[in-house]
Amino acid sequence: MSQEAQPISILSASECWDLLAGAPLGRLVTSTEGEPHIFPVNFAVQNRTVLFRTAEGTKLVASAISKEVLFEADGYEDTQGWSVIVKGTARSLHTEEEIAEAETANLVPWTATVKNHFVRIRPLNITGRRFVFGARPAGS
Amino acid sequence: MSQEAQPISILSASECWDLLAGAPLGRLVTSTEGEPHIFPVNFAVQNRTVLFRTAEGTKLVASAISKEVLFEADGYEDTQGWSVIVKGTARSLHTEEEIAEAETANLVPWTATVKNHFVRIRPLNITGRRFVFGARPAGS
């Protein structure tokens, strides 16, 4: 079996945002009283923020808004995969101006339900890695 | 625009396990001191448990073992998607017998790195939903 010198490589912030922008589905991770929650959402990238839509009054909104959250997306092909994790703060959009800006992101609703509430995650940091698939290194 | 009567449907436990078994990649979610962490891992389903491999001594192992964790996988096609979330407890496998059993799961290593440590998540519960994609309901 061949041995890969660098099976995992660290991505730059630009690469991370480019990969995020091409991913249709991500996962919001929140923590309430020490208990983690995960919510799959479809999303858009706009000016290096993560934007998604949800219904008002949901558990998602309650656990995410004004708190530090994680947002993860990943993807894979035959021989490699990647994952990007944004750590940031989530905020509901309320003013006409901020909602108008969010509308320009062309965010496609994930499900055919009413989701009239925009949430934007502003990043504190973004990290990403690319993985090479394959067998374990020789000798391991 | 047509209005879907049931844009979201709840999956049975059997459907959840079947979908999980066909997913190559999932995400482990842990919480340390109230702070959530997310780790993409490749995994296998074995006897209604989630099995994955990791390196020893990692942050993943430290934050997951002997604790309640979440495990999420999802998928989508043109017109629908699904997500399954397992809540369970994670445990490292140590005895020859349990490692031999795990080896039979044919778990393909995600990256070409040494990952000689098996972790098994035993479910406390499993929930899953199927989403129909589409426009918002008429009138919303």
Element (H, E) at B35: strand B35-46
Strand partners for A30: A37
Q: Is A63 on the interface with B (CB under 8 A)?
A: no
pLDDT at B113: 64
Q: What is the dihedral of CA B43, B45, B48, B50, to 10 degrees?
A: -10
Lowest mean pLDDT among A70-74, A131-135, B56-60, B103-107: A131-135
pLDDT digits (tens, 9 = 90+) for B35-76: 889 999 889 999 999 999 887 777 777 777 777 899 999 998
Both tokens of B88, joined, read 């369970």
The reply to whether A101 touches chain B by the CB within 8 Å rule is no
Q: A42-70 pLDDT, tens per residue?
A: 899 999 999 998 877 777 777 777 778 99
| C-alpha span between A63 and A77 (Å, rounded) | 33
Residue A48's CB is within 10 A of a number of other CB atoms, namely 15
Decide if A24 touches B, using CB distance below 8 A.
yes
Q: Residues A110-116: what's their mean pLDDT?
A: 65
Q: Helices in A4-87 by DSSP H: which ranges?
A: 13-21, 59-64
Provide, as residue numbers in chain B, all residues whose Cβ is less than 8 Å from the Cβ of A36. Answer: 29-31, 36, 69-70
Q: Which of B8, B20, B89, B111 to mutate to test the interface with A (most CBs of A within 10 A)?
A: B111
What domains can be seen in chain A, in order of their start residue? 13-132 (2.30.110.10)
pLDDT single digits (tens) A5-17? 467 899 999 999 9
For chain A, give the longest Cα–Cα distance.
Answer: 61
Distance from CA of B47 to the nearest CA of A (A): 24
Q: Which of B21, B19, B111 is nearest to A74 (CA)?
A: B111
